[in-house]
Amino acid sequence: MSVDHPQGKVKHHCVTSDAFLGGKLNVRQPEKGFRAGVDSVLLGASVNDAPKRLLELGAGVGVASMTALTYCPQCKRVDGGNRPRNCGDRQSKFAG
């Protein structure tokens, strides 16, 4: 739908701001539907420091790859998926 449709016809998506890794990683993700959790963090933390690039395909808001990049800063992320503008690393903040 377009924002040109009448107000009652436009579906609004609410997002939440969530912290992972003790606040090192902050992401905005949909309030409803698939949400990243500890499984995404564990998957990202399981990547050893050998890879030079990470390919992300259909990874939700990207918490798994962003966790891996937190632990392997020398890796380069290759984003192969389409992600809504209000989710994932476009709105995430790495601290520290």
pLDDT in tens, 49-80: 777 888 877 777 888 888 988 888 888 777 66
Between the two ends of the chain, the Cα-to-Cα distance in Å is 40
Q: Could you give the CA distance from residue 34 to residue 60 in angstroms, rounded to a whole number?
A: 7
Cα angle 27, 33, 39 (rounded to 5 degrees) comes to 60
Instruction: Record the pTM.
Output: 0.64
Partnered with residue 54 across adjacent β-strands are 77
The DSSP code for 12 is P
Q: Could you give the CA distance from residue 77 to residue 55 in angstroms, rounded to a whole number?
A: 6
* Residue 92: per-residue pLDDT: 42
